[in-house]
Amino acid sequence: MAISMVKFELSESPSQEQLSELTNRFEAFIRQRIPNLPPQSKDKIFIVRAVNRSEHLVGGILANCYWNGLEIDTLWVGDSERGKGIGSSLVNQAESFGIENGAVVSFLKTVEAKGFYEKLGYEVYGVLEDRPIGTVIYHMKKRLRQKP
């Protein structure tokens, strides 16, 4: 395939205008194919925090509900609190919030916690090796409920 009269520009520090132009054009393209897709402004980014009696953070989860899905971004539990059910409770609360907000699937990526998520009903749907070198990233999913 010949590319004529096209110049390619790589920018390590793209301007807000450049970012907006590209994302707006992509969104318009997607909306042509999926007209009822909710806008990204409808994303519901949320956290659930686990704090001890002294109000110190001992665990937390950062997630986002959008496009009928729950994306778990970050789950952390302090070393001294692991094995006490805090991580499972955080995931369960995030999933409940997701369901209340229309999520039918939950998805995430993990390097070290594959077994933990499998115990919660997640399954691997993709594997990415060597990012970073010597590691494996597992992409995992779980159906929260049937499609509406």
Q: What share of the chain is helix, strand, coil (3-state, %, to 5)?
A: 30, 30, 35
Classify each residue of 52-68 as buried b or exposed e, where b means 16 or more C-beta atoms within 10 Å of its C-beta. eeeeeebbbbbbbbbeb
Regarding the domain delimited by 43-143, which CATH topology (the fold level of the hierarchy) does it fall under? Answer: Aminopeptidase (3.40.630)
pLDDT string in tens for the chain (148-residue length): 666 788 878 899 999 999 999 988 988 898 899 888 776 657 899 999 999 999 999 999 999 999 889 999 999 999 999 999 999 999 999 999 999 999 999 999 999 999 999 999 999 999 999 988 999 999 999 999 876 5
- Block residue for tokens 């986002």: 64
Question: What are the residue boundaries of the structural domains of the chain, listed by start?
Answer: 43-143
- Block residue for tokens 């070290």: 112
pTM, two decimal places: 0.81
Four-point Cα dihedral 9, 13, 14, 15, nearest 10 = -140
Separation between Cα atoms, residue 18 and residue 91, nearest integer Å: 36
Burial class (CB in 10 A: 0-12, 13-18, 19+), 106: buried
